[in-house]
Amino acid sequence: MSAITTHVLDTSRGRPAGGVPVLLAVQDAGGEWRAIGQGVTDDDGRLRNLLHSGSQLAAGVYRLTFNTTTYFSSRGEDSFYPEVAVVFSVRDASQHFHVPLLLSPYGYSTYRGS
């Protein structure tokens, strides 16, 4: 399991959101974003291996971008947000960071999980 994981729940269905493409990026000193991992949530809505193999987590600012258009389009549903970007700070790189997303076609919420 990587040091950064996520879990997407579709609150409009009361079920996990499998098939959501997710991109993990880190912000460099100049403010530019550099992709360091990606994947697609499994049938349980989880993505346990976001960091590319061999990548080390370091202190910094990270962004998870969830491609919600792909998910809702695959279900034949319209949605308001084409993507959801969650930006967060890592101060202690020895910790595990779990960032869940509660998702519906017209809203979302996130928090730091465990």
**Nearest CA to 8 among 36, 35, 48?**
48
pLDDT tens digit sequence for 3-41: 999 999 999 999 999 999 999 999 999 999 999 999 999
**What are the Cα distances from residue 92, in Å, to 23, 95, 98?**
21, 6, 14
**Verdict on whether the full-model pTM lies above 0.85:** yes
For the chain, list the domains and their CATH numbers. 4-110 (2.60.40.180)
Phi, psi of 19 (to 5 degrees): 85, 20
Task: Kindly give, in sequence order, each residue whose CB lies less than 8 Å from that of residue 75, ignoring residues fewer than 6 positions away.
Answer: none
Burial of 59 (0-12, 13-18, 19+ CB in 10 A): exposed
